[in-house]
Amino acid sequence: MKNLEQSAVGVSGYVESLRRDRDRFVALAFCAADLLLEVNTSNEILFAAGASHSLIGKPPESLVGTLFLDLVVAEDVPLIAELLKGMVPGSRLDPIPLKLNGAKGPTVQLSLMGYHLPDLSGNQFFAIRLGTSGTRIDIPMDAVRDPLTGLLEKDAFATLASRQIREAGERGETLKLTMVQSSDFDQLRARTDTEHAESALRTMGICLQANAAGGQAAGHLDDGAFGFLHKPKLDVKRITSRVEEIFRAADPTGVGIALNTGTVDADISSLSESDSVRVLLYTVTRFCESGGKGFEMSSLSDNLKTMTRETTEKLAKFRQIAVQSKFDIAFQPIVDLDTEAIHHFEALARFGKRLDRSPYELITFAENTGVIADFDLAMAKKVLTWLKDQNSLGMMHVVAVNVSGQSIANTVFVNALHDLLYKFDAFRCQLMFEITESAKIDDLESANRFIQGLQKAGHKVCLDDFGAGAAALRYLHALEVDVVKIDGQYVRSAMDSPRNKAFLKAIAGLCHDLGITTIAEMIETDDQADMLRDAGVHFGQGYLYGKPSFDVGEFVNAPKRKRKPPVMDLTSREDGKVISQAQIKALQMSTGRPGRQPKTPQSRW
Ligand code: C2E
Ligand code: CA
Ligand code: CA
């Protein structure tokens, strides 16, 4: 009897301790969650506890036996379905944003966390909580995405990935970056109807995103190349097989695509954001250049070493190019839009004697590495020397050189430039300056002092790549330039809609009111030229008037271009005579005033 009593006490004590354990675990689980779910391999809910009533208007018991995916809002279903497919025993799901179908439409943003317990019939355990997780990194609304896959474009991906790498580092975790590439996409598209091909690309995007760290860090890297940042234990082979399966299913021949992959350790959590973005982009570029084949880099930190070495070598080479003046100048004419007479030339840098190769990549490299000022100075010197030679041959040209917004903040550059200009005193009115990359100007006041310094020395100064954004207005307000060059993008878009044309007209009108002369660039057609003239722009540059050339003689001696006769814009003069706009401009130029007379008394052109 005593034994029985003792054992009964033992059993009830054991049950009591089990109950306490259960309550303890439930309490612990609710520390992190508002709703707990157990889901079996058929996606059916076996257990539910928590605040389902306030979240979705249903008591927890009523959820048992329903399908988990039925709770999820339609737009999140593909991602969550891919996630469920990807959860293997023992894997944990980091917080993923999702919304459920609430009583009155979609719920607010929730976070889904999960765990796949190996020894409970393969069931998955989910915790859902209100709000986004503390570690979630928000992607800006305007982050550029690839329309086909829905994945972030390269730069946005690199920025997000860099942040996630550093976040993981703070948790003591090293993520991995896997890149996948295939050259078979075009062939697959040719074999497959658009609907299936696009659906496969979208599903692949969802699959990569579902397996990416935080359900976000996946990107479109290049044509046919994609990448995602993930947990170190993720079975990459399983993901690539899944992607191949997606394309096989879409392909009527059942062949699908072959994927090349490369995985590197993202062991750069201690780098600054800009450095880690740079090494990420470098790695991605390397992977894409290799076509995904023979890619042997094993970690981002290794790549950092290679990148640093290569950058140092490239930097030394670029400095040498500047110091030894080993580059060429291509000239492009800027013409009066009414008469098409050449007003001046823009000097454009060319490297390796290649007229048709843009220097843009090297110039950007020089800006990013802080050596652009050396180059801008070298270009000014080369142009001045050229002007001197030309003058001695009896040819008086006016040339504009580009100066990066970054150079003008460099006091050594500014002083060296003035020393140089002093040496070439006689050619001051033949040298103009175009300030490029104004976005890189931090201190507008000192930039304006630089501009005024040049003007005092007798040079005209132009603000390049001018647009219609708020920043552009700020620059125009702060920088007292003589000329504004309207960005080619506005010239192109103004042809597309009356709205865009109104923007261009507004820019031209504002400059006109401020007494600033306007140039429009990238003019390729007579229609564009007519539209610009109509909008009140004074001067033009573009392939219509001449592509950059090493030889200015090509433009000076060129026969007059045959152009569509412009619509005569006739104006009545005070004396009753009728004259054309071209005649008005000729009169104004001869009195030293700009094409359209500004409201301000003095023009600086
Ligand atoms: P940018 O100053 O805006 O120069 C105009 C660019 O547009 C030039 O490209 C020119 O060749 C191109 N272009 C001109 N007309 C047309 C056209 O009708 N259609 C099209 N599609 N393109 C046209 P480029 O020579 O490749 O120069 C690219 C950029 O590199 C320049 O843009 C400028 O920002 C920079 N750059 C060039 N030389 C120098 C330099 O000596 N110093 C600095 N700081 N930057 C330079
Ligand atoms: Ca320019
Ligand atoms: Ca420009």
Residue 260 three-state SS: strand
Do 531 and 406 share a structural domain? yes
What does the pLDDT look like over 300-352, one tens digit per residue?
888 888 888 888 899 999 999 999 999 999 999 999 999 999 999 999 999 99
User: What is the model's pLDDT at position 377?
Assistant: 97
What does the pLDDT look like over 17-76, one tens digit per residue?
888 888 888 787 777 789 999 998 888 999 999 999 988 999 999 999 999 999 999 988
Q: Where are the beta strands (DSSP E) in 410-538?
A: 431-436, 461-466, 483-486, 517-520
User: What is the model's pLDDT at position 570?
Assistant: 43
Cα separation of 235 and 222, whole Å? 24
- Residues sharing a CB contact under 8 Å with residue 150, sequence separation 6 or more, in sequence order: 202, 205, 206, 209
Predicted structure pTM score: 0.63
In a domain, 407, yes or no: yes
Residue nearest to atom 19 of ligand 1 (CA): 522
Residue nearest to atom 46 of ligand 1 (CA): 402
User: What is the model's pLDDT at position 595?
Assistant: 36
Cα separation of 284 and 225, whole Å? 9
- Which of 284, 312, 340 is a domain's end point? 312
465 C-alpha to center of ligand 3: Å? 4
User: What is the model's pLDDT at position 458?
Assistant: 95
Residue ranges making up the domain that contains 198: 152-312
363 C-alpha to center of ligand 1: Å? 10
460 C-alpha to center of ligand 1: Å? 19
What does the pLDDT look like over 63-74, one tens digit per residue?
999 999 999 999
Cα separation of 506 and 179, whole Å? 46
CATH number at residue 46: 3.30.450.20
540 in ligand 1 pocket by Cβ < 6 Å?
Answer: no
Do 444 and 538 share a structural domain? yes
124 in ligand 1 pocket by Cβ < 6 Å?
Answer: no
In a domain, 573, yes or no: no
In a domain, 596, yes or no: no
542 in ligand 1 pocket by Cβ < 6 Å?
Answer: yes
Residue 483 three-state SS: strand
The number of the ligand nearest the C-alpha atom of 400 reads: 2
Closest CA to 363 of 412, 305, 302, 321: 321
What does the mean pLDDT of the chain come to? 87
Do 333 and 471 share a structural domain? yes
In a domain, 5, yes or no: no
348 in ligand 1 pocket by Cβ < 6 Å?
Answer: yes
Does 178 have pLDDT greater than 70?
yes
User: What is the model's pLDDT at position 597?
Assistant: 37
In a domain, 9, yes or no: no
21 C-alpha to center of ligand 3: Å? 71
> CB burial class (10 A; 0-12, 13-18, 19+) of residue 434?
buried
111 C-alpha to center of ligand 3: Å? 46
Q: What is the count of structural domains for the chain?
A: 3
436 in ligand 1 pocket by Cβ < 6 Å?
Answer: yes
Do 302 and 363 share a structural domain? no
In a domain, 576, yes or no: no
Do 305 and 158 share a structural domain? yes
Do 556 and 440 share a structural domain? yes
349 in ligand 1 pocket by Cβ < 6 Å?
Answer: yes
Do 524 and 466 share a structural domain? yes
Residues in the chain: 605
Please report the atom of ligand 1 found closest to the CA of residue 404.
44
What does the pLDDT look like over 417-466, one tens digit per residue?
999 999 999 999 999 999 998 777 889 999 999 999 999 999 999 999 99
Does 519 have pLDDT greater than 90?
yes
Among 344, 371, 436, 543, say which to mutate for ligand 1: greatest number of ligand atoms within 8 Å of CB: 436
Work out the average pLDDT over 568-597. 41
543 in ligand 1 pocket by Cβ < 6 Å?
Answer: yes
Does 416 have pLDDT greater than 50?
yes
